[in-house]
Amino acid sequence: MKPITKSSKLASVCYDIRGPVLDRAREMQEEGQKIIQLNIGNIAAFGLEPPDEIVQDMIRNLPHAAGYTDSKGLFAPRKAVVHYSQEKHIAGVTVDDVYLGNGASELITMSLNALLDTGDEILVPAPDYPLWTASVSLSGGRPVHYLCDEGAGWLPDLDDIRRKITPNTKGIVIINPNNPTGALYPTALLQEVVEIARAHQLIVFADEIYDKTLYDGETHTSIASLADDVLFITFNGLSKNYRSCGYRAGWMIVSGDKRHAKDYIEGLNMLSSMRLCANTPGQLAIQTALGGYQSIKDLVAPSGRLCRQRDLAYDLLTQIPGVSVVKPKAALYMFPKLDPKLYPIADDQQFAYELLDEEKVLIVQGTGFNWVNPDHFRLVFLPNSDDLADAIGRIDRFLAHYRKR
Ligand code: PLP
């Protein structure tokens, strides 16, 4: 029989967070080996359950949530998102501008599918949350990576952005707070991004899924709050701030200069209709979450578990020779650098495999986030302090062997 092959559309699509190293970890787990998982931002899996009010409402709503809804979503949760956008000072948002989705992921893919023709370019950060690069490619577009500068706390390099704009550039992706670096962008920098977008008529795609996962009393500015003459598509959801990623509840807000985007918005509406609607229980959970006071704030406060784990991971990693880390101001991750003089790594996926085999610790290699050199990895600081210290101790031991090779 003729072999059944995957679509050529997938040739340039890559999503290594759930890639081959994870497959190897699964095999090892099936053999009964215990793996410490520092690879995925699945908060509820680490004993950090969603707020009780959300769970209880989900249970109560379930018997009445078996039907389809309007394609964009139910009125009340979309209205709750309108109120949220008012709190974030995003002007002029109506219920009509809000789309609910099965997580932000579905909406990210939809927003790019509705826009891109072959050869259209989207500026995506390097490193990035790789769904962005993958979705641009899958939509037929060309991801063009702009650098974030580790020496400047992983902030976007504005000159690199300017250099990479061409007549084919349609939009720019801003992931703030950032996965994988934990960077939080100052308002002044966001203003400059808006100026670039305005000058070159770019759509700003703002992924703000960690906008409440902030440490050290930091505050978050939504880039869409900074102008009304640029088109912004802002993404958010319950997965991180409300520890409910399994409920697959996300939203997308279209704001700013909608007058010139009527055709694109028609495309968004069409794709939204084609997937019928987002899961209804998840939609109802959005209403509960945004109407309440529960979120992640107790966990990220100085005495909170996530803040303590961030500090511990940072302290332990930076004690290892040749390892440097920008301390995250937000989110759940850090993106340590391995000094290439001490650790001459040619293939960082191989590095991740070896760490897994030798020490049973699962991380994701930096190139999985479209980082340019094989000299970084991403670590999730969700495991409790004992497991985190154990895991980083093992990484230290592995690196000590690596240095002696
Ligand atoms: N955006 C970023 C930056 C993420 O880190 C993630 C998940 O890790 C997502 C989007 C996907 O979120 P959702 O669970 O809402 O699909």
Band (pLDDT 50/70/90 cuts) for residue 10 is confident
Q: What is residue 293's predicted lDDT score, i.e. its pLDDT?
A: 73
Domain that holds residue 96: 71-291
- Give per-residue pLDDT as tens, 338-377: 999 999 999 999 999 999 999 999 999 999 999 999 999 9
| pLDDT score at 320 | 96
Which pLDDT band, with edges at 50, 70 and 90, does 7 fall under? confident
Give the CATH number, domain containing residue 216.
3.40.640.10
306 and 284 share a domain? no
7-16, 70-79, 315-324: which range is least confident on average? 7-16
Q: Please state the rounded mean pLDDT for residues 84-106.
A: 97
- Give Cβ neighbours of residue 316 (< 8 Å, ≥ 6 apart): 388, 389, 392, 393, 396
Residue 314 CA to residue 324 CA, distance in Å, equals 9
Residue 63 falls inside a structural domain: no
Locate tokens 């704009």: which residue? 165
125 CA to middle of ligand 1, Å?
15
The residue among 264, 291, 318 that closes a domain is 291
61 located within any domain: no
Among the candidates 291, 322, 344, a domain finishes at 291
Tell me, yes or no, whether 1 lies in a domain.
no
Q: Could you give the ipTM of this predicted complex? A: 0.99
- Distance of CA 203 from the midpoint of ligand 1 (Å): 20
Task: Work out how many domains the chain is built from and give that number.
Answer: 2
Tokens of 184: 């939080």
Per residue in 210-252, pLDDT tens?
Answer: 999 999 999 999 999 999 999 999 999 999 999 999 999 999 9
- What is the pLDDT at residue 14? 77
- Within this chain, do residues 254 and 398 fall inside the same structural domain, yes or no? no
User: What is the best residue among 107, 181, 209, 279 to mutate for testing ligand 1's pocket, by most ligand atoms within 8 Å of CB?
Assistant: 209
Domain match, 254 and 138 both: yes
Q: Mind listing the pLDDT tens digit for each residue in 369-393?
A: 999 999 999 999 999 999 999 999 9
Which of 266, 291, 316 is where one domain is finished?
A: 291
Average pLDDT on 94-117 reads: 98
The CA 103 to ligand 1 mean position distance, Å, reads 7
Task: Say whether both 276 and 321 belong to one domain.
Answer: no
Whether the Cβ atoms of residue 295 and residue 180 lie closer than 8 Å to each other:
no
Residue 320 and residue 235 in one domain: no
* Co-location of 20 and 79 in the same domain: no
58 lies in a domain? no
Same domain, 78 and 27: no
108, containing H or E segment: helix 103-113
Same domain for 111 and 132?
Answer: yes
For 250-328, strand residue ranges (E) read 250-256, 323-324
161 domain residue, yes or no: yes
Question: CATH number, domain at 14?
Answer: 3.90.1150.10
Domain assignment of residue 275, yes or no = yes
Regarding whether 265 and 243 lie in a shared domain, the answer is yes
Q: Same domain, yes or no, for 285 and 302?
A: no
For residues 251 and 176, membership in a common domain is answered with yes
pLDDT tens, 74-90?
999 999 999 999 999 99
How many other C-beta atoms are found inside a 10 Å radius of the C-beta of residue 15? 12
Give the confidence band of 294 by pLDDT, cuts at 50, 70, 90. confident
Ligand 1 pocket by Cβ (under 6 Å): 41, 103-105, 129, 175, 179, 207, 209, 237, 239, 245, 250
Query: Residues 120, 22: one domain?
Result: no
Q: Does residue 248 form part of some domain?
A: yes
Average pLDDT over residues 178-190: 98
The pLDDT of residue 268 = 98
Query: Is residue 324, in this structure, part of any structural domain at all?
Result: yes
Give the chain's count of helices (H) and strands (E): 13, 15
Q: Residue whose CA is closest, atom 5 of ligand 1?
A: 179
Nearest ligand 1 atom, CA 104 = 15
Give the count of beta carbons closer than 10 Å to the beta carbon of residue 228. Answer: 14
